[in-house]
Structure 1
């Protein structure tokens, strides 16, 4: 059966970097909800004006809107395994995903929670860049002289990054996403991962735990 994972963590915890690595290693589709929303804005999609002010102030998109955006992507990957980066972020989104999968006889195999102290996250925000072409994101030190390591385009700071936006998003994460993480813990489907180390060390740590999904709920 295809492996289906959700990746949760506060802003700048490394979800994009680690999510892509997991997807590549396991042969899974990868979705960044943040990149999906920014693409919706840039393409002037049907709900762009609805979500633009929310993202500008560092907020989370309303649950029903986020689920409407996600459903076509899920449908197009119905028979595939995947890594969802940043979804579900609320109990309502988790309920939606659970119902959607249950109707198809599927389920989430595990939720991975990346854990990083707030002080470290602030430093990462200041160094984070994203490629406007392929949506790669990571630390400036990972670029090739400021160019995206994937497609070569110039990578720059994300429009929604900044101290105030980070603190607002961090508070939103604590309020809404932490209860989702605890839901997966109660279901014994949670992998907690200390993500304060370097990228390679964290990736190796996650690989070991994904290889041993029977040990859900243990500390990585």
Structure 2
């Protein structure tokens, strides 16, 4: 069982991935986490990642796909949730080729749909509440940074919605509601995909 979670920053992909891990025994493959783990590992791939990150450059698709291939071929997991990958059409093609090469398939792509303005207001409000309560606030939890990240998402990643819709793999969920309701909808999609 392999699924992709698509959605802009702040849509709840991480939260919902955690629920899918708990409820369906899938493994979350977050590219950010994988890159940090690789960098700390000291392996040959880890050294390549560290060099690129230390230069302040973006890690190449080749490296990210290599890390994902490593996970797909060495894990005994019953399935994966791709969170933060693919981000581009080229990465989507690379993932398709990789799944085919490893004898696996993509079972579902789930788009978490949100309203950008409401999302920005919600994130900024949450940051203000945390600040007022004396809790830590993420550096990127502000309107300016979030709007920049949303622009990048719409330019680079949103084209994947049409890409996967044309393949008949896309499911869309309204992610502006209650976390439990959204989790229930995602679970229903996963159960249908595995039936």
Which TM-score band applies after superposition, normalised by the shorter structure?
A: 0.7 to 0.9
**Which structure dedicates a bigger proportion of its chain to helix?**
2
1:205 pairs with 2:147? no
Query: Residues 32 and 96 of structure 1: is their aligned pair in 2 closer, same or farther, counting only changes over 3 Å?
Result: same
RMSD (Å), alpha carbons: 3.0
Query: Residues 199 and 89 of structure 1: is their aligned pair in 2 closer, same or farther, counting only changes over 3 Å?
Result: same
Return 182-191 or 160-169, whichever deviates more.
160-169
User: Which residue of structure 1 lines up, in the alignment, with residue 172 of structure 2?
Assistant: 192
Mapped contact 1:11–1:121 kept (Cα < 8 A): no
Give unpaired runs (5+ residues) of structure 1.
Answer: 55-59, 129-138, 147-154, 215-220
Give unpaired runs (5+ residues) of structure 2.
Answer: none
Query: Residues 158 and 170 of structure 1: is their aligned pair in 2 closer, same or farther, counting only changes over 3 Å?
Result: same
Deviations 1:21-75 (A, max 9, x none): 1121111111222333455567795223523635xxxxx7542343233332233
Query: Residues 210 and 48 of structure 1: is their aligned pair in 2 closer, same or farther, counting only changes over 3 Å?
Result: same
1:96-115 alignment to 2 at 5 Å? 96-115=94-113
Query: Residues 23 and 193 of structure 1: is their aligned pair in 2 closer, same or farther, counting only changes over 3 Å?
Result: same
| 1:122 CA drift (Å) | 1.5
1:12 pairs with 2:10? yes
Normalising by structure 2, report the TM-score. Answer: 0.79
Q: SS at the partner of 2:137?
A: coil
Size of the aligned set, in residue pairs, is: 186
Q: Distance in 1 between matches of 2:36 and 2:121?
A: 23
Q: Distance in 1 between matches of 2:41 and 2:150?
A: 27
Q: Which has the larger radius of gyration?
A: 2
Question: After TM superposition, where is structure 1 displaced by more than 6 Å over at least 4 residues in a row?
Answer: 41-44
Q: SS at the partner of 2:158?
A: helix
